Structure 1
Amino acid sequence: MTIDTTNMCSHLQKKFFEADGVYFSIWQAIQNDEELSAVVRSRQLHIYPNGKKILVLAGKAQPKVIREDKLNELLK
C-alpha cells in the first residue's frame, strides 16, 4: 500500500514507519492485509478495513479507537 505522507505530521511518520516506532506493527499489518486501507486526513492517519473506519492515529495525541478490531490489539 502507498500512503500519501505529504500531509502527515513528522511525529506520526516516525511512529508509523520507523522500525522502533510505536505504530510500526500496525504499518506491517496494513502491508500484509489487502482488506485494510489508510488515508491521511488533517495530519492524522485513518485506518479502514472494508471501508469502515476503526482507528485514527495522530502524532502527539493518543490513538482514537472508533470500532473494535483485531488491529487495535497492536496498540497495546
Structure 2
Amino acid sequence: MGKRKDVLFVEKINMRYTSEMEKAMQGSHGIGYEEYQLKHDVRMEVEQRREKEYVKSQRMIADIDRKIF
C-alpha cells in the first residue's frame, strides 16, 4: 500500500459581515474580519480560543446545575 499524504487547503472565507460584527471581533479577539479571513494561523488561534471558552462555559453550567439539583 502507498503512503497516505494529508493535504491541507487554506482558502479565504467569503463572508459578509456588519460593522457590529467587526466591532465584536475587534473587542473579543483584537483582530478584524479581514485578517481573520486571510490568515489561517490567526483563524486557528481564534477558533481554539473560542473552543476553550465554550468548554469552560459548559463546565460552569454543569457546576451550577449540580448545585441547584
Same fold per TM (> 0.5)?
no
- Higher RCO (C-alpha under 8 Å, 6+ residues apart): 1
Specify which structure has the higher proportion of helix: 2
Structure-2-length-normalised TM-score: 0.28
Specify which structure has the higher proportion of strand: 1
Structure-1-length-normalised TM-score: 0.26
